[in-house]
Homo-oligomer: A and B are copies of this chain.
Amino acid sequence: MNNPSSTAARNTAALDRYRTMRRIRSFEERVGELFLRGESAGSMLHLSIGEEGVVGVTDAMAQGDSFTTHHRGHGVFLARGADPVRMLAEIAGREDGYCRGKGGSMHIADRALGHLGANAIVGGGIPHVVGAGLSYRNQASGQVSAAFFGDGAMQQGILYEAMNMAALWRLPVVFCCINNQYGMGTRIDRAAASVDFVARAEAFGLAGVSADGADVEAVYAAAQDVFAGARAGRPGFIEVSAYRFHGHARMDKSPYRTAEEEAEGRRRDPLARARDRLIAEGLADAVDLDRLDAEAGAEMDRALAQATGAPLPPLASMFEDVYDPTTPAPEPLRHRLARILNA
């Protein structure tokens, strides 16, 4: 998270990024398992496998920076320090989950970690970081707020409204597009007349850069500049290219793309690339990395077991959290019916 000055620190950070990416992948595999066991709340589970290179962006953030994510946001959140147990509990709709079983996979958040909320409306969370940037500017807090979203959101008008406002008011804001080439079954060139997204961002007054998401260190280098600029009032845009290894959500078998394309896409694996580089640069050997992989797997196994052991939320909790508890709450229908029938 800090700007590592010594070579040693840089090396540790690279290894840490690998570990974070591995933890994300292991986590997402457990989400898949949860679904197969019929224990997830629904099937609207969007795995970020293949997109772990975004860790280069999350690592460029500082403690206290805030962010919003889209429906495929597990990886970003984990990288920012989320507790996998509470995440899985939420995805399973349990009382111990981050959102008390009310939000689920698409609405996970932890205010304490700066997560202002995952959003199931494509583009829905983007303008929130403009507002956060406004608060930070006025509070002179030095914080930055970053929106994470997919290439699909590049076709939502609200993005350009938000970009323009951030640039106009010179807010500490970063827009990060994880371009995994697809919005559901639609390849990006069937959705966007021009796929030069950096040019779009620049036309709205932002500093823009595109980074190869298969190379987490390259992403990290690019992101550091973007965040430094944003912190100084020059909001920026960063595109992280990736390939969505699996279907859009758990039920999707991706019939709209060929096996060859998928094989090719999966060869751009940020984990394999990082592993090779760590070994080539002598920062770790295969045994170290295997151990680290196993640890990540074991951690997530434990998390899964703990999460699925958590209790379900009590029915009455349904009426909580609509409004602040010091103000009038919704009246349950049964109470209302009783009032009417006994009137």
A residues within 8 Å of B by Cβ?
155-161, 163-165, 167-168, 190-194, 196, 199-200, 202-206
Residues of chain B with a CB closer than 8 A to A160's CB = 157, 160
The 5 closest A-B pairs by CB, nearest first: A157-B157, A193-B205, A167-B193, A168-B193, A194-B205
- Report the separation of the CA atoms of residues A163 and B206 in the bound assembly, to the nearest whole angstrom: 20
- Which one of B155, B196, B204 lies within 8 Å of A194 (CB-CB)? B204
Residues of B contacting A205 in the complex (Cβ-Cβ under 8 angstroms): 192-194
Chain B: CB-nearest residue to A192 = B164
**Nearest B residue to A162, CB-CB:** B157
The answer to whether A203 and B199 touch across the interface, beta carbons within 8 angstroms, is yes
A42 to chain B, nearest CB (A): 29
Chain B minimum-CB-distance residue to A169: B193
Distance of A334 Cα from B167 Cα, bound (Å): 54
Q: Nearest residue in B to A158 (C-beta to C-beta)?
A: B157
Give the residues in chain B near A163, CB-CB below 8 Å.
Answer: 193
Tell me the bound Cα distance from A160 to B164 in angstroms. 12
Known A203-B200, A204-B194; contact A161-B168, beta-carbon cutoff 8 A: no
Of A155, A156, A167, A196, most buried by chain B (CB within 10 Å of CB) is A155
A267 vs B194: C-alpha distance when bound (angstroms): 39
Question: Would you give the shortest CB distance from A126 to chain B, in whole angstroms?
Answer: 10
Chain B residue with Cβ nearest A191:
B168
Interface centre among A167, A191, A196, A200 (most CB of B within 10 A): A200
Would A196 and B203 count as touching, CB distance under 8 A? yes
A selection of 19 A-B contacts at a CB cut-off of 8 Å is A155-B161, A155-B164, A156-B157, A156-B161, A157-B160, A157-B161, A164-B192, A164-B193, A167-B194, A168-B190, A168-B191, A168-B193, A192-B205, A193-B205, A193-B206, A194-B203, A194-B204, A196-B203, A202-B203
What chain B residues lie within 8 Å of A203 (beta carbons)?
A: 194, 196, 199-200, 202-203
Given A156-B157, A157-B159, A160-B160, list of 13 further CB < 8 A pairs? A155-B164, A157-B157, A157-B160, A164-B193, A167-B193, A167-B194, A168-B190, A168-B192, A193-B204, A193-B206, A199-B202, A200-B203, A203-B203
Instruction: Tell me the minimal C-beta distance from A306 to chain B in angstroms.
Output: 43
- A202 partner residues in chain B, CB cutoff 8 A: 199, 203
Contact partners of A155 in chain B: CB under 8 A:
161, 164
